[in-house]
Structure 1
Amino acid sequence: MMGVLDHLIIVPILLPLVSGAVMLLLDERRRGLKGGIGIATTVALLIVSIMLLRMADMAPPGSGVSTYQLGNWPAPFGIVLVLDRLSALMLVLTSVLGIASLQYALARWHRAGPRFHTIFQLQLMGLNGAFLTGDLFNLFVFFEVLLTASYGLVLHGDGTARVRAGLAYIAINLAASLLFLIGASLAYGVTGTLNMADLARRIPALAPGDAALFAAAAAILGTAFLMKAGAWPLNFWLPTTYAAASAPAAAIFAVMSKLGVYVILRLWTLVFGPDAGPLAGFGGDWLLAMGMLTMVFGSVGVLASQSLSRLAGCSVLVSSGTVIAAIGTGGGAVIGAALFYLVSSTLGIAALFLLIELVERLRDPGADVLAVTMEAYGEGDDDPEEEVGVAIPATVALLGGSFIACALLLAGLPPLAGFIGKFGMMAAMLKADGAAVQASTWALIGLLTLSGLATLIAMTRTGISSFWARMDNSVPRVRVIEMAPVLCLLLLCLGLTVGGGPAMRYIEAATQDLRTPQDYVTGVLGAPTAGSADAEARP
């Protein structure tokens, strides 16, 4: 018989599903009750995710795979959920951002439109299911669940810009979903399976003609996933959409863009690993090139951004491009450092999205026009009295300190965790074991440096205009429930810096799991069904 802990793997999917269904039955005017249910659900999700992370971490590197077979049907015939160190890490990251975004939304955003709490829980359900699923068909199902929920979150609120960006976002993702279906259908026609572990087992035995067809299917699937990850040239929609979305929606979208990166990493290391025969390493050069081009596009966008919200959206592109390029290098140590950077940059970007609305309250609606007028007519320069040593209000100081922390995180500067991730990637790429460092490696190192410099310049420019060049001395009204999520996310990034050793140890073990795909295949396809003799013999 299965124990209670064996059912934990499905809880991150069932809990938000049940919670969202219950809140759907409640009257829309009972937002306080819905908010309480939502917070309780996301906190429970975080607790369960941490328990799953500890379960995955207790297994030795290379064998940390746990499965949950729905209906007790063994893989590859039934639906299977798979937990390893990487999926557990993404579950925890999703739960953390879910709590922060929902708490921020309780200040006012959950009242801006109907069914916000149900939509938010379905978003979490889709994300968790996509991180846990072990086959492509159910990955498509969970993708559609989270995308449908994200349509509601993008359009939550009012405004022409939000509707325009939301409609474009829906059209782009419908096209990506069509590509997903075409690629999955072609892969199934060639291999006869959509289970990821079974795909990895069958790929080496494909005939040359079938291998070419599967490579085409993988290219189509990769295009769909790269669109969702925001890779160039398929990322033109992302900065506009994220800038137009509400603050809590944009914060949870920070991890949604990393879902595409996660799927690429999972499939590329599993299906096109060293045992894949002629298809081993398929697409690696393309990932490296597209990742680097995405970094260039995002860096230029960061420098050209005239608003803080669009700057944050372009920072998502820089983050995704960095991790995609690191995956394309194929180095285990590089991928491990990139995963550390993925976590820290996602937390930092989410904190920035939540902080933007609070920072913009510092700006008077007519301050920009007034500043341009005064500069044009030379007014404001002959004031004989200059204030010296004016005290900074606590609210402004707190917003400014949080803004500086976000800038350090996204630019990859010490002492915060973004620097550890970028430095780890550079050190791993330069550790060539006597071999000459390739030109592409030097180019990637240069882009890592220049993207950080571009972010620093853009954030400094925006910080000066927001905090130093204010036309009035008014102090914005910031509620504790709005500021607390930002500070918690930044404190978590600080914790990643202080506890960098244990965090890197866990991520190195997760990378080792990715580099031994045969252990994943054996763990999924060899998992016993409940009640079988093998299951009873397990410790």
Structure 2
Amino acid sequence: MMLSWHDHLMIVPIVLPMLVAGLMLLLGEGRATAKAVVNVAATVTLLAVAIALLRQADAGPVRVAVYLAANWPAPFGIALALDRLSAIMLLLTAIMALGSLLYSLARWHRAGVHFHPLFQLQLMGLNGAFLTADLFNLFVFFEILLAASYGLLLHGSGPQRVKAGLHYIAVNLVGSSLFLIGVALIYGVTGTLNMADVAVRIGQVEASDRMLMEAGAAILGVAFLTKAGAWPLNFWLPPSYAAASPPAAALFSIMTKVGVYVILRLSLLMFGDQAGESSGFVQQWILYIGLATLTFGTLGMLASQNTGRLAGFAVIISSGTLLSAIGFGRDSVTAAALFYLVSSTLALGAFFLLQELMERSRTFGADLLAVTLEAFGLDRPVDAEEDMSTTDIGVAIPAAMAFLGLSFIACALVLSGLPPLSGFVAKFALLTTILNPDGLTPEIGSPEPVLAWVLLGLLVVSGLTTVVSLTRIGIRAFWVPSGRAQPRLRVIEVFPIAAMLVLGIVLMVQAQPAMRYFTDTARALHHPDDYVRGIMSARQAGPGGATP
């Protein structure tokens, strides 16, 4: 089968960042402007390719494109697979990357060495993790994105970043070790690492080996639950994300979704109906861990006073919500969860960038002084007989503060799930599908109705807690008079935040076609026969025709 140029698009999200990172290393550290131009051009190209791949994946009722990188048939060679889920994750990664990169050009890209090569290597690892159809190559891309994230977390130096970075590196090295152990156990039992081939063979595993295979899957799951920020393995996340530079933290908000993506993909692929006695093996555990994570994130959100840590706990709440939804094992709940994943990731990215601009003009002790003055009435004129007819009513709001205030409100509405923005649509869809399963056929291991009410309560409480916490931060930043100078904002800092929030509004306005896409995605995930068939039957490319 001869390949046309658009058949090679699938390899571009991996090869392009790798080549660009190598080129920027050759340029040396004195060429920051040239590196920035190359980085922006490459990231814009990745965005265009991601859009093209999304259209390709949504071309038919079931569309799985397979790229045999070494032209060896599966399961012997490296295979990349593109379906609707991987396509939306590629597009979301490109959007978050471009926004973070543009924001960094204001000053952060010059705060340390090798920012631009590390940035592209991070994209290579993320894109590869979303495209690979092989567990070993998943480990390879996982390590690439982790290695790049170590450098990005430490970018800008400082004792706080070094301390958080050491914890982050130690935890992720343990996660990588667990990854290898889990993969080795699965390979030892099934004799393959191709994910589609594992799905075929898992139902044929002998009873004596089944416990060993399930142990390997559980160990592998622990590695990705750690990356997803699941309780009790998420103690590293709030301090690490709070210490990272804003553009790095915004990009990290998509990194936690790698763990969620892999858990969603492998749990439905390996432990679906075809898995025999192992069907639904991990589903209940994912639900319980998701509920615990959501509870922990809610408590942490309420206790946080620092804006960066609050954003970190918002990431944990997002992960807990997604894991809980995955644990329900219904395609309609999964579809709503995917809508929530996109909405929350955009809002989190905007919030990580926004928090630095909010803190920019604040001085140490200004908030405490302002509250004290207001409590004693010293922030108002003493003369109560002042002629109000000659006094200006209200306070003029500068454009910078108006933008920050409106952006903060938009982030708060999405993260808390209040109407009318996309966060409300996502949570409403989640609650509707969880509490209204009429017409749905519960899949193997579906949870009891009481757990649906537990999740309902946690979603409501987490939303309320987010409102309280963000309102407290908002009052401190925008309401309490502190006499501080108005912040100076650059267009290149404002544009990425505005773009992410506008995309969230577009997602709300186009909720119906978006939910159609996510519903098709969820149905394909819960019935992975076409995914397995597409990979295992992929044909080699050869001159003049197809080679079996």
TM-score normalised by L of structure 1: 0.96
Q: What corresponds to 1:154 in structure 2?
A: 153
In the alignment, which residue of structure 2 is the partner of 1:528? 539
CA separation of 1:43/1:72 partners in 2, compared to 1, >3 Å: closer, same or farther? Answer: same
Identify if the C-alpha distance between structure 1 residues 468 and 376 changes in structure 2 by more than 3 Å, giving closer, same or farther.
Answer: closer
Residue pair 2:362, 2:484 contacting (<8 A) in 1 also: no
Partner of residue 478, structure 1: 489
Equivalent position of 2:217 in the other structure: 218
Q: Are 1:37 and 2:77 counterparts? A: no
C-alpha displacement at 1:281, in angstroms?
A: 0.8
Contact 1:191 1:202 in 2 (8 A): yes
Provide the residue aligned with 2:431 in structure 1: 426
Between stretches 528-537 and 393-402, larger displacement belongs to 528-537
Equivalence for 2:119: 120
Q: Which amino acid aligns with 1:8?
A: L
C-alpha change, 1:535 and 1:501, in structure 2 (3 Å) is farther
What's the counterpart of residue 100 of structure 1? Answer: 99
Asked if 1:495 corresponds to 2:506, the answer is: yes
2:347 corresponds to = 348
Map 1:193-232 onto structure 2 (within 5 A): 193-232=192-231
Correspondence for 1:453 among 464, 473, 478: 464
Displacement of 1:449 after TM fit?
A: 1.0
CA displacement, residues 152-180 of structure 1 (integer Å, 9 cap, x when unaligned):
00000022111100010000000000000
- 2:78 corresponds to 1:73: no
SS in structure 2 at match of 1:82: strand
- Secondary structure of the 1:221 match is helix
Partner residue, 2:480: 469
Counterparts of 1:30-429 in structure 2, within 5 Å, are 30-60=31-61, 63-371=62-370, 374=373, 379-380=378-379, 383-384=382-383, 388-429=393-434
- Cα shift at 1:415: 1.1
Q: For residues 161 and 286 of structure 2, what CA distance do their matches in structure 1 show?
A: 31
What's the CA shift string for 1:278-332, capped at 9, x where partnerless? 0111111111111011111101111111111111000000001000000000011
RMSD: 1.7
Instruction: Please tell me the residue identity of whatever aligns with 2:75.
Output: P
Give the CA deviation at 1:432. 2.8
**1:415 corresponds to which letter in structure 2?**
P
1:364/1:471 contact within 8 Å kept: no
Cα distance in structure 1, aligned partners of 2:257 and 2:483: 39
- Give, in whole Å, the separation in 1 of the partners of 2:428 and 2:543: 49
Q: Distance in 1 between matches of 2:545 and 2:454?
A: 51
Q: How many residue pairs align between the two structures?
A: 535
Give the drift of 1:394: 1.0
Deviation at 1:373, TM superposition (A): 5.5
**Range with bigger deviation, 513-522 or 84-93:** 513-522
* Counterpart Cα distance in 1 of 2:393 and 2:212: 72
Deviation for aligned residue 1:201: 0.1
What is the one-letter code of the residue matched to 2:24? M
Equivalent AA in structure 2 for residue 355 of structure 1: L
* Inter-partner Cα distance in structure 1 for 2:382 and 2:420: 40
Sequence identity, in percent?
Answer: 57
Q: How far did residue 371 of structure 1 move?
A: 3.5
Judging changes above 3 Å, is the alpha-carbon distance between structure 1 residues 456 and 373 closer, same or farther for their aligned structure 2 residues?
A: closer
> When the two structures are superposed, what TM-score results if normalisation uses the length of structure 2?
0.95
Q: 1:430 touches 1:437 (CA, 8 Å); kept in 2?
A: no
Cα contact 1:8–1:48 (8 A) shared by 2: yes
Higher alpha-carbon deviation: 469-478 or 105-114: 469-478
Alpha-carbon contact 1:23-1:34 (below 8 Å) kept? yes
Q: More displaced, 177-186 or 413-422?
A: 413-422
Contact 1:64 1:513 in 2 (8 A): no
Following TM superposition, by how much is the alpha carbon of 1:108 offset from its aligned partner in structure 2, in angstroms?
0.2
Partner of 1:11: 12
Asked if 2 retains the 8 angstrom alpha-carbon contact of 1:104 and 1:485, the reply is yes
Q: Is the 8 A contact 1:367 1:470 kept in 2?
A: no
